[in-house]
């Protein structure tokens, strides 16, 4: 089965794509997702799936580069820690409510693709990111949308 495509949002003030470049193995666990739809998407991710890394709440908001799924969904242990900002007592190691995946940096685009640039592309009209009021932090990307975005990135 062919790999699937996704988009994942991060606020660069919390964790940027430059941060991802610096961490060990350029790999991080995508913890802290506390939205069921986003969690469910992560649960369907397969090793090798490709991810657009998006900076939200940024100036400008933009697609920054590409990452890949290297570990499929497993319990998000940040939910178990009362001191963690994402603590959720409903989730326990025995019965994990929240999951995460590991992603690894593939590449950072030479130039970010700003949100308003994406909006100019007729082929991206249906993209989840561009839907009015869309807030999903993990979302699927159609293959044809992926192709357009990568073309905009100059690949």
Question: Which residues from 56-85 bind DNA, rule CB under 7 A?
Answer: 56-58, 61
Q: Does 115 bind DNA (CB under 7 A)?
A: yes
CA distance 35 to 111: 30
Q: What is the sign of the dihedral through the CA atoms of 109, 135, 41 and 84?
A: positive
Nearest approach in angstroms of CB 52 to DNA is 12
Nearest approach in angstroms of CB 2 to DNA is 27
Q: Does 131 bind DNA (CB under 7 A)?
A: yes
Q: What is the sign of the dihedral through the CA atoms of 112, 138, 101 and 150?
A: negative
Nearest by Cα to 50 from 150, 135, 153: 150
What's the burial of 134, exposed, middle or buried (CB within 10 Å: 0-12/13-18/19+)? Answer: exposed
Q: Does 137 bind DNA (CB under 7 A)?
A: yes
Q: Which of 4, 5, 6, 9 binds DNA (CB under 7 A)?
A: 9
Nearest approach in angstroms of CB 103 to DNA is 17
Residue ranges binding DNA (CB under 7 A): 9, 11, 34-37, 56-58, 61, 115-116, 131-137
């Amino acid at each position: 089965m062919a790999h699937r495509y996704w988009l994942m949002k991060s606020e660069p003030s919390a964790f940027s794509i430059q941060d991802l470049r610096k961490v060990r193995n350029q790999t991080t666990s995508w913890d802290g997702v506390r939205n069921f739809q986003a969690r469910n998407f992560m649960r369907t991710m397969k090793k090798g799936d490709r991810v657009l890394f998006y900076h939200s709440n940024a100036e400008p908001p933009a697609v920054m580069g590409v990452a890949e799924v290297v570990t499929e969904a497993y319990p998000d242990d940040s939910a178990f820690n009362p001191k963690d900002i994402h603590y959720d007592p409903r989730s326990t190691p025995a019965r994990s409510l929240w999951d995460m995946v590991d992603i690894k940096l593939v590449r950072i685009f030479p130039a970010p693709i700003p949100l308003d640039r994406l909006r100019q592309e007729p082929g991206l009209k249906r993209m989840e990111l561009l839907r009015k009021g869309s807030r999903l932090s993990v979302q699927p990307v159609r293959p044809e949308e992926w192709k357009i975005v990568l073309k905009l990135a100059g690949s």
